[in-house]
Amino acid sequence: MIMQISSRFDGGAVEVVDASDGQNVRLRVRPDTAADFAQWFYFRVDGMAEQRCTYRFENAAQCAFPGGWQGYRVVASYDTENWFRVDAEYDGQVLAFSHRAEHDTVYYAYFEPYGEARHHQFLGRIRRQGIARVHSVGDSVAGRALECVTVGKDNGTAGEPTPVIWIVARQHPGETMAEWFVEGLLKRLLGLDDWAGDPVGRLLREHARFHVVPNINPDGAALGNLRTNAAGANLNREWLTPSATHSPEVLHVRNAIEQTGCDMFFDIHGDETLPYVFVAGSEMLPDFTERQTLEQRHFVDAFKTASPDFQDRYGYEADKYREDALKLASKYFAHRYRCLSLTLEMPFKDNADLPDGIHGWSGARSSALGAAMLQAVLAQVRAFPKSATQ
């Protein structure tokens, strides 16, 4: 058979320079639509069963995060369900990997994809369960619904004040581990699968109100972009002054949060370079309060107890985003509501503290981390029943 390479599917992205050899393929990482970010790739190869081929990304050094290629391994799958890692080498210019496919069709990606079909199937399952409400808070640039899962104690219920918790994922659509994380979190929160009867999820539903946006950038996800939406906007630089035409995704979610208030905010991401799980806080803000400091420290300690995958030794410098802090989601809401507001980062590579030679960091580990974070959220709700917004 003749080799065929395709990326004409949901989330697909690659540029083929030359595949005529059949054993040495020249590729380029395709930049985002309407932007120059390049790092995400996802493509399919047919006709290579039992044959070894070497693939070279010739523009790896010009990508958005060239340091991310150091120690990186490509993810591969024969069925788009079960993914494994393939060793790669980066010489400072070219990222190359060699693989002998066991079947006629093989998929390669930057990280384990989370497709639009899975997104809709999972949200449909939540609708059928009947515990949570799945609703749209607005439309994306291209007209896709921005879906939100709302569950928990109603704000109007008599009794103790209800903490309002917002979680958004995939501002950067190529950071697919973020939606895997949310899937695991929602399964535990709603008592799905192995979490049926879980007391953590039940207590949180009884004592808090959750609003979860699994994919705030559905256009970018479908287009196979790393960081931007269909208009070329990096959504996590739009929160201070979102645009109805350029970044409606941010505008709609921000408006929805204005309607409910916010006592905890979590923005879920992936980091291309650091092989660790960590959070970035808002302590660089000049109006960051002592209570926020206490809340942030308490949550980090509770999360470390909840999951050995989480740590606080490695991460971003506290002043990394000082210049444009309020353009970023977690910083904006820390300032707006004086609440616990964090950006969670997971690795594209592996967790150097607990490496997995077969899968590296994966969708399954991201889901497990999402479920584990709820234990830290419950500890936070108990220690701080209502934040300084009251």
Whether the CB-CB separation of 85 and 359 falls below 8 Å is answered with yes
State the Cα–Cα distance between residues 250 and 7, nearest whole angstrom: 28
* Number of H-type helices and E-type strands within the chain: 8, 16
**DSSP bridge pairs for 269:** 345
DSSP 28-87: EPPPPTTS------EEEEES-TT-EEEEEETTGGGSS-GGGGTT-EEEEESSSSSEEEEE
State the Cα–Cα distance between residues 190 and 210, nearest whole angstrom: 11
**Owner of token pair 């964090």:** 342
Q: Is 345 a catalytic residue?
A: yes
User: In the 8-state DSSP scheme, what is residue 327?
Assistant: G
- Spell out the residues 6+ positions from residue 339 whose beta carbon is closer than 8 angstroms to its own: 262, 263, 264, 265, 292, 295, 333, 387, 388, 389
Kindly name the residue from 147, 179, 238, 345 that is annotated as catalytic: 345
- The amino acid at 325: A
Catalytic residues: 345
